[in-house]
Structure 1
Amino acid sequence: MGQSQPLMRWPVLVVEDEPILRLDAISMVEKAGFEAVEALSSADAIRLLEERLDIRLVYMDLDMPRSRKGIEIAEAIRQRWPPIEIILTAAYFTRDSVRLPERAEFYPKPVNHVEIVDAMHRLMGNVATGSR
């Protein structure tokens, strides 16, 4: 009987400046079978994306008053790293009030973990199969 190969735990960059919400997001990501990579700010997020070439999904809060606007960071990620999938969330924005980067998905807070996890699996399935 052959040994099974370990499953690939895709890294997901979690960008959230509120500690309680960040811990909740990290827990959600890890329970879904992904590796959570945490960023405390937009500057952290950019630094981690530069260092971790294996990151293919970013889960990010748009409401980050202590750093660059989340939507600006999402647009910068889309321009600089086009293959990376982006899931955005916010309490103070709606899907219609913000112009999302191409292929970015938006979910209002409070987030529904099932919806977010389903989106993560779907988007990472696209990465794994090479489809867009």
Structure 2
Amino acid sequence: MLIVEDEDLVCMTAVLMLENAGFAVVEAASADDTRTILETDPTISALFTDIEMPGSMNGVELASRVAARWPHIRLVVTYGRVRLRNQETPDDGQFLAKPYYPDELLSAFAHA
């Protein structure tokens, strides 16, 4: 699983939640870093991205590009200021509002 989050504390918390649930987690601080990771690590099967982050694109654009190039990757998009409907996330992905709890995070991936 790939987590794209630029806030260190938020990223660390999400990593711990997912690792405690048994997932192997790779981290990226921006959408720009994800392409290299996805091209070199074929084991990535899920992407968890924040909407707002530094770089050339936001999390929704990133999820759209990932869905187009790697359609097998499940998508979950998160944000604390705006709420999206699941229908607004690319490729049947899920939206998860911040702050979230471990069971909500796992449920979002189960439905992605």
TM-score past 0.5 threshold: yes
Please give the alpha-carbon distance, in whole angstroms, between the structure 1 residues aligned to 2:19 and 2:25.
6
* Counterpart residue identity of residue 11, structure 2: R
Q: How does 1:39-118 map to 2 (within 5 A)?
A: 39-64=28-53, 66-67=54-55, 68-96=57-85, 99-118=88-107
Instruction: Tell me the number of residue pairs that the alignment of Structure 1 and Structure 2 aligns.
Output: 110
1:5 matched residue in structure 2: none
**Alpha-carbon displacement from aligned partner over 1:11-62 (angstroms, at most 9, x marks no partner):** x101101111011111111001011111111111111111101111011111
Consecutive unaligned residues of structure 1, counting only runs of 5 or more, are: 1-11, 125-132
SS in 1 for 2:106: helix
In the alignment, is the contact (CA less than 8 A) between 1:85 and 1:104 conserved in 2? yes
Distance in 1 (alpha carbons) for counterparts of 2:14 and 2:40: 21
Deviation at 1:118, TM superposition (A): 2.9
- Distance, in Å, in 1 between the alignment partners of 2:59 and 2:47 is 12
Q: Distance in 2 between matches of 1:38 and 1:123?
A: 22
Shift of 1:123: 5.4
Give the Cα separation in 1 of the matches to 2:88 and 2:111: 20
Contact 1:63 1:91 in 2 (8 A): no
SS at match of 1:102: helix
Identity over aligned residues, as a percent? 32
Q: Deviations over 1:80-114 (max 9, x none)?
A: 11111001110122124x83112110011111221
TM-score, with length taken from structure 2: 0.90
Unaligned runs of 5+ in 2: none
Structure (1 or 2) with the greater helix fraction: 2
- 1:58 is paired with a residue of what secondary structure? strand
Q: Report the Cα distance in structure 2 between the residues aligned to 1:47 and 1:93, rounded to whole angstroms.
A: 29
Q: In angstroms, what is the RMSD of aligned CA positions?
A: 1.7
